[in-house]
A and B are shown apart, each in its own frame.
Chain A
Amino acid sequence: MFGTLTLSAFAQGPIVLGAQLFIVLGGLCIAGLVTYLGRWRWLWDEWLTSLDAKKIGVMYMIVGVVMFVRGGIDALMMRLQQALSVGASQGYLTPEHFQQVFTGHGTIMIFFVAMPVVFGLLNLVVPPQIGARDLAFPFLNALSFWLFAGGAALVMLSLVVGQFATTGWLAYPPLSELQYSPGVGVDYWMWALQISGAGSLIAGINFVTTILTKRAPGMTLMRMPIFVWTALGSMLLVIFAFPVLTATLAMLGLDRYLGFHFFTTGGGGNMMMYVNLIWTWGHPEVYILALPFFGVFSEVVPVFSQKRLFGYTSMVVATMTIVFFSFVVWLHHFFTMGAGADVNAFFGIMTMVIAIPTGVKIFNWLFTMFRGRIIFALPMLWFLGFVALFTLGGIAGVLMAIPPADFELHNSLFLVAHFHTMIVSGVLFGLFAAISYWFPKVFGFKLEERWGVRAFWLWVVGFILAFGPLYLLGFLGATRRLDHYPAGLGWQPLFIIAGVGAVLIALGVGCQGAQIVASIRRRVQLRDATGDPWGGRTLEWALPSPLPEHTFGHIPQVESRDAWWAMKKEGHAPGVLGVPGTDRIIRVPANTPLPLYMAGALFLACFALVWHIWWLWPLSLSGFLGCIIARSFAHETERPVTL
């Protein structure tokens, strides 16, 4: 009846019990709160069934933040274990539990934090920046979100029912094969990535189509805001890279479920093929995450320097160069797998080449500041923090592009420190800049500054304390993923400092929570009455805040880059694009619960596959197909809004 699922899947010891109770009680509390406030109908009508990109963007962000807290708790658990587990002390986690925690941390932070905030941001910003009311395929957009949410739910469920993978976030075989990982952990990991990955691919297609076909009249490619260019680059990478991930995981799945031998030890399997394939996806993935935030900085720096972006054309060329080269560097993730010197050197040099356009972007931002009038608002602070950390992290990265240097640094904590520097400064600082910058556009009031500044300094100082020691530990020969190490190596003080840094970062996150609360309480004073609180340059700032349901009252004719800046010079007042044109009735996508049902069906199907519940997955899959058929009969997919 329940496949391999038995009651023992729930009994995981006291620490996991705490997490289980936290998740279950947390869920009940939220449900209780919604019931108490009588908000179920509102939640369903306004959010869960919405096809509106503005709402879907916010939901992506909320789930991303929730998962960020989960991944952050994982990080603190790892720091505590490594600070304690030295010599005679074994720390407070078993090796197996520690391994679940670091696998969960990596998987969650990349797939269920960084990816959703990218998609969330694109949902919120791309349509108003290009003068579109919605995406090309609103239904698929909701489906993308719900598939992602289904994957996230599967990861969280693995904490309550059974275990998560203990293989590291990329699950190299043969460790991830049945022979060495017979439990449900790898299956949870694999299916969570499969459904959220399908969502990502659909979203990539959706955004590329949107950007190519739904721009306002007159907005040629070379008049698009740089954020839209970077979104386009990132989503092109999604389209080319994610099918590789899907195929690779499918092959691993065939190995695990049907006794195939793609990557097994013996039987003609070749694990090196997996490593190549997973990084063929994995390296472009880095730029899928980073590019949109380069775009954010390209929006933020000109606005707060009160000056045009320097070197627009260079920025476009640099972005597209990065897109191309991101597909020819994957081998630098395994210089130590025995490829010859020629191959290693080729991929090393390609890796350095990709640093050139990145360097150009940094110079262009700096020369945007040059002869500007810089306002040190929060987004600008995050930018400055980003420049300093990203430059240093980039140097560490180019260093490891030299194969023999990598031989002494690969899989050490130096590597861990390097990619955290890039992702924290590139993705998270970019995200924080983006949130401070676009928050008023989405919610109608600005975020208050004081808690934001505190958060900034805690993040920067905490980051240096948390990852500076890891660079040193890498030089000392400390490898990643150690649940225990001998006392004689002298690593413990550095791990303790890193732990202190992690606590400071956690306090920074706390300040960000306080910032949201304080801003909500002071929302009347912080209200963005004009819709253009920063002196913006792009179309979204010509709209009222928060954006109305139909986004644009009328679609403008774009005559130049920085379209809103040009309109302002011609004397247009803020909020001008919210004013209706000749069209008084605008059609927006009608709500439908089908995307939610479809993702729910796939979630159940994956759960059934994880636990080998053979009757449930065909049933769920039929439900999924039934939804597709039902949708094909839907006539009224839009509803009118009268302005």
Chain B
Amino acid sequence: MFGAAGIIARQESTLIIEALLLMLVVGIPVIALAGYFAWRYRAGNKDARYEPEWEHSAMDELVWWAVPFEIVLILGALAWLSAHTLDPYRPLASSAPPLTVEVVSLNWKWLFIYPAQGVATVNYLAIPAAVPVSFRLTSDAPMNALWIPALGGQEMTMPGMVTQLHLMADGPGEYTGLSSNFSGEGFAGMQFPVYSMTQEEFAQWVAQTKAATSSLDWNSYEALAQPSDNNPAAFYRLSDPNLYTEIVNQFMASTSGGMMMDDN
């Protein structure tokens, strides 16, 4: 929440702070009241009124059913609205056309595929600043979740399925990304740097990466997908543009038909 550097993260942080303040308005008085009553009505204080049989007051009870109810009404509205405006599946409005990044969580590293750019990386995410990034997430390992706290919320990755996440960085910067869903032995090493750069820098980076010596197709992917931990960043030319679809659909082989699990 601290150090939000993207439109989603900022809105989520604001939401967190607003909701917290709203609830503390009730919570702090409750705790204070507990302290005050405890002190005021201590057994030693004979000045305080003592009404051992007082046990019911319809009006009072109505009030404390109503107070949390009101708060929940407000928070509920907030939840409904924000769940829709900040739905991770919702594309972000921007004049810039979005960048699509296909994400595969592996044991125990992240593979990022840039289909339009024809490049791929491991444990290294480069994105253009102020451009919406549309992540398509899957896993070829246990479940993970992609989380770049500075840019916005997380979304889980699951084998054979595609989930979505839309984020946008405000400006150039360097952030940390990680997996937030425990996935086994090398889980702690699934952290990666996120570089947000100007569009020119990004284009330059793509060109540079395209000149990489290693290329990624199904065969080299299968080698990459073998378990390994604390992988350093790696860069690939993407020689199979359908690699991501193949990764997602590989589990369909044993069932009939070639149904695509990607809901696009």
Contacts and interface: CB of A to CB of B under 8 A. Distances in A.
A311 interface: yes
B202 interface: no
Interface residues of B, number: 93
B12 A408 contact: yes
A402 B49 contact: no
B159 interface: yes
Interface in A266-295: 266-268, 271-272
A367 B180 contact: no
Interface stretch (B14-22, B94-102, B119-127): B14-22
For chain A, the bracket of interface size reads 35 or more
A486 B9 CA distance: 23
A95 B185 contact: yes
Contacts of A266: 159-160, 250-251, 253-254
B181 A485 contact: no
Contact of A373 (B50, B64, B152, B251): B50
A165 B187 CA distance: 15
Contacts of B27: 391-392, 394-395
A485 B189 CA distance: 8
A475 interface: yes
A398 interface: yes
Interface stretch (A232-240, A356-364, A428-436, A458-466): A356-364
Contact of A307 (B54, B60, B178, B187): B54
B153 A356 contact: no
Given A266-B251, A307-B54, A353-B72, A391 B20 contact: no
B183 A175 contact: yes
Instruction: Tell me which of A271, A341, A355 has the highest count of chain B C-beta atoms within 10 A of its own C-beta.
Output: A341
A485 B181 CA distance: 15
A392 B27 CA distance: 7
B188 A95 contact: yes
A309 B55 CA distance: 6
Contacts of A384: 34-35, 38
B88 interface: yes
B225 interface: no
A306 B41 CA distance: 11
A341 B75 contact: no
Interface string B24-54: 1011001101110110011100001111111
B173 interface: no
Contacts of A407: 12, 86, 88, 152-155
A395 to B, nearest CB: 4
Interface in A387-433: 387-388, 391-392, 394-395, 398-399, 401-412
Contacts of B19: 398-399, 402, 405
B91 to A, nearest CB: 13
A601 B226 CA distance: 42
A366 interface: yes
A479 B83 contact: no
B53 A411 contact: no
Given A371-B50, A408-B9, A334 B176 contact: no
Contacts of A306: 43, 50, 52
A175 B143 contact: yes
Contact of B185 (A96, A398, A477): A96
B87 A341 contact: yes
Nearest to A371: B51
Nearest to A401: B79
Nearest to A399: B19
Interface stretch (A3-11, A248-256, A342-350, A447-455): A342-350
A274 B162 CA distance: 18
Nearest to A405: B16
A306 B182 CA distance: 50
A265 interface: yes
A428 B42 CA distance: 25
Contacts of B196: none
Given A271-B158, A412-B180, A310 B54 contact: yes
Contacts of A398: 19, 23, 75
A533 to B, nearest CB: 16
A345 B76 CA distance: 8
Given A363-B30, A404-B85, 11 more contacts: A167-B182, A175-B184, A313-B56, A359-B64, A392-B27, A399-B19, A401-B79, A402-B75, A405-B15, A408-B12, A477-B176
Interface of B: 1-2, 9, 11-13, 15-16, 19-20, 23-24, 26-27, 30-31, 33-35, 37-38, 41-43, 48-56, 60-61, 64-65, 67-69, 72, 75-76, 78-80, 82-90, 107, 141-143, 145, 147, 149-150, 152-156, 158-161, 163-164, 176, 178-189, 191, 250-251, 253-255
Interface of A: 95-96, 99, 166-168, 172-175, 180, 265-268, 271-272, 305-314, 334, 336-338, 340-342, 344-345, 348-349, 352-353, 355-356, 359-360, 362-364, 366-367, 369-376, 384, 387-388, 391-392, 394-395, 398-399, 401-412, 475-477, 479-486, 489
